[in-house]
Structure 1
């Protein structure tokens, strides 16, 4: 599928999803049923292709942050149109950044897009994911990512244009090349393809379900991520080597 973002830019680092949900989108043939649940957004997919493939997750992360030598790597699945992802960013974003800075954890951010249709443009989730990928591929470091990531969630529901997203990226410190990439929508299609692959791996970890926000550690869903930052301390205190590998 081309070079992974990690191979293209070794300095960039971002990507994950939640255990409870607020909206359920069930695919029944051509019919989509939307139901209000409790915490996040859940898409029920029919495909569950087997165990989680870490290589696929690594290759399809929109942005990766943290030292490769960190004792644990987590996968974060979000959708820029998801209100509960916005809440997750507000509650856990700073703690994740600090743990990354401390070298305690490495984070792969997967920006999904199954809520595209909830935006007026019909593609805000994909365009936001494409913007993150533009930053990753064009000299963006993790500080630029953090700022743009937060700014896009702050604009969730406003459906900014590509030019407006490029301005957010400029304010975050993105390079002129990244800004042009965003304005042109140059990587939106690739971001969609990456989101699709990440969604399949998430479904493999969660009985065929894709939910945002969700966090995986060693391919296993982390519980309690909407209940403060205790989940992060638990993950760091119990690295994969101390846990039973998922079957």
Structure 2
């Protein structure tokens, strides 16, 4: 017999045998990590932040630039939108969003808008506040200084800062007494305020104040209806009448400032030829003299000719005064002072002129119709007590 052994299967301990009939276990196959640049140019999550930042930044910058042209407070809105744009741009920067140009544009435009908004908005509010203070009819400067201060709007270009005051109007009005003659008074010093007239209501003499604008049609109606009664009362000594001419209807004169020139013409007569003042006042309210609605009114030369005829002749000083518009600045300043002050000697200390004609008898305003003669006569009788 041979000593040879039958062949046997070689064992490999490093490779364990898989039992027959059982499935092979899953094998691990290594997978490479994702390429961070595989989607380059498409942005990351939140990519809309950059676009929103750019859009808001441009809108904010445009708003601020437009507001700059007018120094408008709306620039603050542009600055606020710019702040939002900067905030979105910073978020986009943190997220490293692409394309970077969007949030860079938002940051730059938003930052500029914020700066413009702060500067222009602040200047705009300051300008509006200054204008409001300057235009206020009740400012402390006007109340203290009066018509002669030269601070009122509408003054002729190049005039002195202090306004010349006429004679016979120390109270701010023309006081007519017996024989319809103005009460004499010296001109006030420039810068002085009018002094309210003294009234004595215990003697039975009515004190009447009438505010008129010589362009006002209702003032003309009141004059035609009640002028004869007033002139009779004053002429007889039963009443005094203080006439205050206003100029607020210049705006209806197509740039000719007729109300101011007519009031100044009357002031010229009061100053230089006072005995003709009542005739001048009545003439300026006559239907054939008052300007038609929408018309520019008479020229200075025509005003002089009209008043010259109605008074029986005016002197050369009055003619020169009207031609040179000497008292136009005073008339305009007096108008502003009246509307910023209470009515003197009124029963109600807070009474103010609200329209023309504005008639006050013994401190009580007449609220009837200008063309109702019976109502006005009854009002006078009730005040007088008869």
Pairwise TM-score range, normalised by the shorter structure: 0.5 to 0.7
* Aligned-CA RMSD value: 3.2
Matched with 2:261 is 127
Give the 3 Å change call, closer, same or farther, for CA 205–112 of structure 1 in structure 2: farther
Partner residue of 2:252?
118
Whether 1:231 and 2:376 are equivalent positions in the alignment is: yes
Q: How much does 1:81 deviate?
A: 1.1
TM-score normalised according to structure 2 size: 0.43
Unpaired runs of at least 5, structure 2: 1-130, 141-146, 148-168, 184-199
Between structures 1 and 2, the one with greater helix share: 2
- Report 1:95-106 matches (<5 A): 95-106=229-240
Separation in 1, partners of 2:360, 2:139: 16
Contact 2:366 2:379 in 1 (8 A): no
1:125-152: CA deviations, max 9, x gaps? 11111011101110221xx223222322
Provide the C-alpha distance between the structure 1 equivalents of 2:170 and 2:378, rounded to a whole number of angstroms.
23
CA contact (8 A) 1:166 1:180 kept: no
> Is the contact between residue 226 and residue 376 of structure 2 (CA under 8 Å) also seen in structure 1?
no
The secondary structure found in structure 1 opposite 2:340 is helix
Q: 1:190 aligns with which of 330, 337, 342?
A: 330
Distance 1:215 1:98, change over 3 A: same
Q: 2:279 aligns with which of 147, 150, 156?
A: 147
Higher RCO (CA < 8 A, seq sep 6+): 1
State the partner residue of 2:316. Answer: 176
8 Å contact kept, 2:264–2:325: yes
Residue of structure 2 in register with 1:75 after alignment: 209
SS of 2:367 mapped into structure 1: coil
Give ranges in structure 1 of 5+ residues lacking alignment: 1-29, 31-44, 50-55, 243-247
CA distance in 2 between partners of 1:175 and 1:205 (Å): 41
Q: Going by fraction, where is strand more abundant, 1 or 2?
A: 1
Cα deviation, 1:12-39, whole Å, max 9, x if unaligned, reads xxxxxxxxxxxxxxxxxx9xxxxxxxxx
Q: From the CA coordinates, give the structure whose radius of gyration is larger.
A: 2
Provide the rounded CA distance (Å) in 2 between the counterparts of 1:181 and 1:118. Answer: 24
Among 339, 358, 367, the residue aligned to 1:199: 339
Q: 1:207 to 1:137 in 2, by over 3 A?
A: closer
User: How many correspondences in the alignment?
Assistant: 189
Q: Which residue of 2 aligns with 1:65?
A: 176
